[in-house]
Amino acid sequence: MDYQKEEFEDGKGRTRNGSPIFYKLLEEMANTHDRKSHDYASNENPFGNYHFAGQVSSLFAHSVKDAGFAGRIAEKVYRLANLEGSQKTVSNESIEDTEKDICVITLLWMADRRNRRESLNQASTDGAKLNSKSREDNSSRKIQDNLECQIIEIAQQMTPQTLERSESYLREVRLSIERHKSVGPYQK
């Protein structure tokens, strides 16, 4: 295709200014978007995967490092639900690849979180601070581990119908986190 000359439906053409490679890249990006959007979203809600990922990421507003992992997992969960719920034929990676991606991202997240905890423990040399921090870390770790388990449970049960209920669930989890913050780690 001649990217310097663009044909319009009425048969008239015009000369494009700029790099022909730029226009070729635009077409490649449009094709990539078309293929990926098929698997990750729907025509009714083409940005649904990003919105869902943003909602899940917002659970970790206190930690951008955790939010990044949670958002990536949410994108994959949304893809899985979109493909299986609509019974679409996969255009890109297989469903098994998506399942593996969810596992790999979760394991990477766990490795990162453990590495951060170890770094925190090594940085503290004051015995009293270390004991206090350890109790807080254990409490926070239990909360985070519980949230990770909840996300995995959601991923295993996700269908288009459950996606609609996910907003309500995320609100409940946010309220639970806020309640925990307001009463402290050792109170109910």
Higher pLDDT, residue 48 or 137: 48
- Given a cut of 60, is residue 3 above it in pLDDT? no
**Terminal Cα distance for the chain, rounded:** 67
Work out the percent of the chain whose per-residue pLDDT is above 70: 66
Rounded distance between C-alpha atoms, residue 73 and residue 13, angstroms: 45
Quote the crossing angle between the two packed helices 160-183 and 48-58, to the nearest 10°. 20
| Average pLDDT of every residue of the chain | 78
Overall pTM > 0.75 = no
pLDDT at residue 187 in the model: 46
Higher pLDDT, residue 7 or 170: 170
- Given a cut of 70, is residue 159 above it in pLDDT? no
Rounded distance between C-alpha atoms, residue 99 and residue 107, angstroms: 13
CA angle 132, 148, 102 (to 5 degrees): 140
Q: How many C-beta atoms lie closer than 10 Å to residue 85's C-beta?
A: 15
- pLDDT tens profile 100-152: 999 999 999 999 999 999 888 877 755 555 566 566 667 777 777 777 777 76
* Mean pLDDT, range 6-11, rounded to an integer: 51
Q: Taking the domains of the chain in order of start, what are their residue ranges?
A: 1-40, 52-183
